[in-house]
Amino acid sequence: MDENTPFVFLTVTWAADRTHFSLLHQSLQLSPLHAAPHHVVVQHEDLGLFSEFGSETTRILSSAEVLPGDVELRRNQARAWRARVGRDITRTAGSLTRRLGWPEWPRYTGWHTQQITKLAFVAASPVDTVVVLDSDVIVTPSAAIEDFVCPGKIVCYQDLRSADGLRGKVFHWQESAHQLFGERFSASEYDGYYDTPFVMHAPSVRAMLASLENRYQKPWWQVLLQQPPRRWSEFGTYKYFLRHCQNQSVDWRNADIMGYLFDASDIAQLTDKFTRMLRDRQQHYITIHSQSSGRQLWTAEAYVDAVREILRNNV
């Protein structure tokens, strides 16, 4: 690969995911995609924690450089509120906002503003294809340029499932995406792929945001942040737009090259499975989840050294 790589990587992260990110960074540097530009947007207050990763191909950016100014201001206000009241009350405040529309600050907590950051970055990208990588992704030696590009088509990964029994957060994300564009969600199947790598087409994102602004007569980020907290998804909204609101051809791909490790409680078992997946040429990207349902049953610090050693020995 060279400077003319037809896509760029984007990671939006923060201090709590630094260890995860260090593994992503290492795996990417050891992979066939090492020359692809990697833009890393971190919360402004965490910028110093990630500065060591900056290089010719890895650019570290502050959230203040990417987010609309008012969003960055309110993100900092929400961070101050969370520090003051704690995690449990923050969660309760978010529930109140979903039901009553008040208070406003939970709309601007980290998870929501990270979604806005992704959309803002992609919308401003001079490169048409932006591949979002979360910090907990490992790039394997089988990764390839062709994973993200198709001449004349927009690439997007999907996981079509029966809508029978659909509930919880994915249901809300589907419902919200439809409602944003004036439709009611009712389908026999749904797309369950909300993971990364997630390929985004910058011209389509710009068209989507312009469509929202035209429909609601306000800035696109205001439209999205007025949705009930944790009930909307930037990826779900984008996929709805690709399927229903634009005419460009889309190469919908099954996510067979993505692998997952959900249980990191047993390090020996984790490293054994990870080694086998890394050597499986069908697995191009592996996500290692560090927690279960937000309960933080384990952290990346428990296995980072073991995974780092496996990566060094399998290039």
Write out pLDDT tens, residues 2-24.
Answer: 446 799 999 999 999 999 999 99
Q: What contacts 265, CB < 8 A, 6 or more positions away?
A: 297, 298
pLDDT at 224 over 90: yes
pLDDT at 112 over 60: yes
Name 264's bridge partners.
Answer: none
As a whole number of angstroms, the distance between CA 96 and CA 250 comes to: 39
Average pLDDT over residues 231-257: 97
Count of CB atoms within 10 A of residue 135's CB? 23
User: Residue 187: what pLDDT?
Assistant: 84
Length of the chain: 315
Query: What's the pTM value of the predicted model, to 2 decimals?
Result: 0.96
Residue 34: helix, strand or coil by DSSP?
A: coil
Residue 171: helix, strand or coil by DSSP?
A: helix
Q: 122-136, 215-229, 257-271 — which is least confidently predicted?
A: 257-271
Mean pLDDT of the chain: 94
The one-character DSSP state at 16 is: G
Q: For residue 94, give the nearest of 106, 80, 110 by alpha carbon.
A: 106
User: Residue 271: what pLDDT?
Assistant: 94
Q: What contacts 314, CB < 8 A, 6 or more positions away?
A: 141, 275, 278, 279
Q: What contacts 195, CB < 8 A, 6 or more positions away?
A: 134, 255, 258, 260, 287
- Percent of the chain with pLDDT strictly greater than 90: 90
C-alpha atoms less than 13 angstroms from C-alpha of 50 in its C-beta half-sphere: 31
Confidence class for position 44, pLDDT limits 50, 70, 90: very high
Q: Domain spans of the chain? A: 8-139+156-254
Average pLDDT over residues 143-152: 97
Q: Name the token pair of 251.
A: 């190469």
Q: Give me the helices (H) in the chain, please.
A: 18-29, 47-50, 63-66, 69-85, 87-100, 110-124, 168-180, 202-216, 220-225, 234-244, 267-279, 304-313
pLDDT at 294 over 70: no
User: Residue 4: what pLDDT?
Assistant: 67
User: Residue 290: what pLDDT?
Assistant: 61
Residue 182: helix, strand or coil by DSSP?
A: coil
188 CB-contact burial (10 Å; exposed 0-12 / middle 13-18 / buried 19+): exposed
As a whole number of angstroms, the distance between CA 205 and CA 203 comes to: 5
81 CB-contact burial (10 Å; exposed 0-12 / middle 13-18 / buried 19+): middle
pLDDT at 152 over 70: yes
As a whole number of angstroms, the distance between CA 24 and CA 307 comes to: 11
The one-character DSSP state at 296 is: -
Q: For residue 262, give the nearest of 283, 307, 236, 293 by alpha carbon.
A: 293
pLDDT at 292 over 50: no
Average pLDDT over residues 44-62: 98
Confidence class for position 165, pLDDT limits 50, 70, 90: confident
pLDDT at 97 over 50: yes
pLDDT at 134 over 80: yes
Question: What are the pLDDT digits (tens) for 254-269?
Answer: 999 999 998 888 999 9
Q: Which pairing describes strands 198-201 and 129-132: parallel, antiparallel, or unpaired?
A: antiparallel
